[in-house]
Amino acid sequence: MTIHGQSGAASRAGYIRDLESEPRWDPALVRRVLLIRASSAVSLGVITATVPAFGPNRYLLSAFLILVAPAVMFIAFRVFDSDRLLVNATLIDMVWAVLVPHFVPPTYSGSLLVAVAMLAFVANEDPRALIRASAIGVIGYPIVGILHDPYFWLPLYAVFVMLLPLLIFMATTQNEREIRHQIRMRYGAEHDSLTGLRNRVGLASALEQAPAHALIAIDLDGFKDINDTLGHEAGDALLAALASRMNEEIDGRGVLARIGGDEFAVAVGDADPNLVASQVLSACRRRVALGDVDVSIGASIGIATSDGEADGHELLRRADLAMYEAKRSQGGVRRWSDSTRSASKQRVSLSGEVEAGFEKGQFELYYQPIVSMETGDVEDVEGLLRWNHPERGLLAPEDFLELVEGIGRRSSMDRLVFDQAAELAARLSPAIGVSVNVSAGSLLRSSVPVVLDAALRRHGIAPQRITVEVIEDEMVDEHSTARAVLNALGELGVGIAIDDFGTGHSSLARLRRLPVTSLKIDRSFIMAMETSDDDRAIVSAVSELGRALDLMTVAEGVETMAVRDHMVKHGVRVDRLQGFGIAGPMPAEQLFEWLHPSTTDSDRIGTHG
């Protein structure tokens, strides 16, 4: 069987057709039961023929048992499959063929036969039992009549035969209804009601039928923020749209399943899993219109290929581990390897310690000075989040931010960052500002401006002294939800800087429409200027653009003062410089010492001379 998939109504209809086409009986079981049934019929026939007490008709009864009963059983099994058919039929055979003619008066023998048939029906709670009992009764009635009074039984038998089709039709109709209900129940148990895709159970069922060459695990980045900000209806609409879009990209090369809230998986057959993953990632990143709002979402994808030993469950686990590694690297695609297993174990261990990090105050901002290119004075510091882990040492954001989000503490982290930045600004000279980084997920939280404003008021800081930095690729267009948050921050009075400028897809229209106040030129251009005329030209062009639009320009990645000298020599003028050539990130107390070693902690610091 080949891994393939569909979605929506076509998938549901095809799935139901597949279930309806499955055999209702096991051929091996039929052969086994028929053999037992034939043996029992022959045994009863021999006994009936050899015991004189059964009367002069015992040879006719014997022939019926030996020849007719197995044929009835075969027909019944082909039409009305049930594993209890042998027990019921044998019981009824013994009653009407042996006991009824000799121990029950003729007046009651027919009633007893019907009662036994009805008892079999009720005991099984299955309409098919009625069909079986009726089929056996058709043969049982004339036999009882022959053994008693043919003239008395003939009218009764005629009425029974006329009513029998109606009984069988009613039972068959009810039986088909139950079968279809069971099919729908099974479909619902294996499929997601929102997207029409298979769910985790359905994916496992597909893998049992056809092992996959590879499994791809997909987790949507930033979905929780969209769900929280725009509401669950918008979140559901986004999931349905992305599911349809991903399925179109897969185009029958695998089975797409929704295995969690914002998690999907693809069981790939013979197709190239790297190509499928790349196309799925591209589909996720395209904008989706949700009413009057356009949203863009990313994805973290993990791939695990079969090694011939891992089953479907293990492949999915490996793909999940690779996906988590991709998420730690800010999205993209990762393949599973032994190193992935080791890294994931460390990650699981670390995730349990995040809450303790909050409680013990282990998260703090380290500050990197930003100086004026013209005077060398410190005009700003950038707060960079760090985790002072008691055993693992100083951890960078990429090592723990995903874990923070995973336990639902992103808003707590935003509050901590804003509070520490405002607290430092209160201790610094009013001439020095403080910059902090805000992720795209935080920009989708309407509470961010309120939280920042509260921190500024708590520490008595003017909004103009705080700058919010957003990575260029995480800036969204004018129709996005984040634009409202950026505008609210602009109205509050804080600065807004585009970080890593030059590596993303910003347009001049975006710079004009959004409340941007500064551009931070990506370090890759700054570090390559000394050897690349093209990079130097790019830096010079961005600085000219900044002056034309009245935007502050900052050169990141000034690792040596030789870089500054090179810029001066070639007439590349930016407003500010930042990098290890000036100073690296440092705790607040060390920053005070760096600014002015002789100043005490309680004094306000001016500029670094």
pLDDT at 580 over 90: yes
With respect to residue 2, please indicate whether it lies within any of the assigned structural domains: no
With respect to residue 607, please indicate whether it lies within any of the assigned structural domains: no
Q: Highest-confidence range of 156-170, 226-240, 365-379, 482-496, by mean pLDDT? A: 365-379
When mean pLDDT is compared across 131-135, 240-244, 596-600, the lowest value belongs to 131-135
Whether residues 301 and 368 fall in one domain: no
CB 111 within 8 A of CB 137: no
**Distance separating alpha carbons of residues 367 and 190, to the nearest angstrom:** 52
Whether residues 445 and 339 fall in one domain: no
With respect to residue 1, please indicate whether it lies within any of the assigned structural domains: no
Kindly state the DSSP code that residue 332 receives in the 8-state scheme: E
> What residue spans of 428-532 are helical by DSSP H?
440-443, 448-459, 481-492, 508-513, 523-528
Dihedral over Cα of 35, 39, 45, 46: its sign = positive
Indicate the SS3 state at residue 421. helix
pLDDT at 66: 60
Query: Is the pTM higher than 0.85?
Result: no
Mean pLDDT for the chain overall: 75
Q: Highest-confidence range of 135-144, 353-362, 404-413, by mean pLDDT? A: 353-362
pLDDT at 251: 86
pLDDT at 572 over 80: yes
The number of C-alpha atoms within 13 Å of 590 and in the hemisphere containing its C-beta is: 10
pLDDT at 355 over 60: yes
Whether residues 341 and 359 fall in one domain: no
Residue 466's CATH number: 3.20.20.450
Whether residues 273 and 158 fall in one domain: no
Whether residues 418 and 444 fall in one domain: yes
pLDDT at 121: 46
Range of the domain at 502: 354-595
pLDDT at 340 over 80: no
Q: What is the mean pLDDT of residues 67-72?
A: 55
pLDDT at 73: 54
Whether residues 305 and 369 fall in one domain: no
pLDDT at 79 over 60: no
Tokens of 143: 């036999």
CB 247 within 8 A of CB 256: yes
* pLDDT tier for residue 471 given thresholds of 50, 70 and 90: confident
CB 570 within 8 A of CB 536: yes
* pLDDT tier for residue 296 given thresholds of 50, 70 and 90: confident
Closest CA to 472 of 495, 512, 500: 500
Q: What is the mean pLDDT of residues 480-504?
A: 84
Kindly state the DSSP code that residue 75 receives in the 8-state scheme: H
Domain end residue (candidates: 325, 351, 377) = 351
Whether residues 102 and 208 fall in one domain: no
Number of domains in the chain: 3
pLDDT at 431: 93
Place of tokens 């049934």: 37
With respect to residue 569, please indicate whether it lies within any of the assigned structural domains: yes
Dihedral over Cα of 7, 9, 10, 14: its sign = positive
Whether residues 308 and 446 fall in one domain: no
With respect to residue 65, please indicate whether it lies within any of the assigned structural domains: yes
With respect to residue 337, please indicate whether it lies within any of the assigned structural domains: yes
* pLDDT tier for residue 298 given thresholds of 50, 70 and 90: confident
pLDDT at 583 over 70: yes
Whether residues 56 and 182 fall in one domain: yes
Higher-confidence position of 34 and 220:
220
pLDDT at 462 over 90: yes
Domain end residue (candidates: 351, 382, 411) = 351
When mean pLDDT is compared across 171-175, 304-308, 448-452, the lowest value belongs to 171-175
Q: What is the mean pLDDT of residues 468-488?
A: 73
**Distance separating alpha carbons of residues 589 and 470, to the nearest angstrom:** 26
Length of the chain in terms of residues written:
609
With respect to residue 602, please indicate whether it lies within any of the assigned structural domains: no
pLDDT at 476 over 70: no
Whether residues 223 and 330 fall in one domain: yes
Whether residues 12 and 43 fall in one domain: yes
Closest CA to 515 of 559, 464, 558, 563: 464
* pLDDT tier for residue 399 given thresholds of 50, 70 and 90: confident
pLDDT at 493 over 90: yes
When mean pLDDT is compared across 17-21, 49-53, 263-267, the lowest value belongs to 17-21
Q: Is 256 exposed, middle or buried (0-12, 13-18, 19+ CB in 10 A)?
A: buried
Domain end residue (candidates: 301, 336, 351) = 351
Tokens of 554: 């900052």
Q: Highest-confidence range of 33-37, 63-67, 513-517, 602-606, by mean pLDDT? A: 513-517
Higher-confidence position of 181 and 57:
181
Instruction: Count CB-CB contacts under 10 A for residue 112.
Output: 16
Residue 258's CATH number: 3.30.70.270
pLDDT at 124 over 50: no
pLDDT at 45 over 70: no
With respect to residue 265, please indicate whether it lies within any of the assigned structural domains: yes
pLDDT at 556: 93
Whether residues 491 and 586 fall in one domain: yes
Q: Answer left, alpha or beta for residue 291, where phi above 0 means left and psi between -120 and 50 means alpha.
A: left
Q: Residue 78's Cα: distance from chain center in Å? A: 43
Task: Find the largest Cα–Cα distance for the chain.
Answer: 129
Tokens of 11: 């998938």
Percent of the chain with pLDDT over 90: 25
Higher-confidence position of 285 and 81:
285
pLDDT at 30: 47
pLDDT at 585 over 70: yes
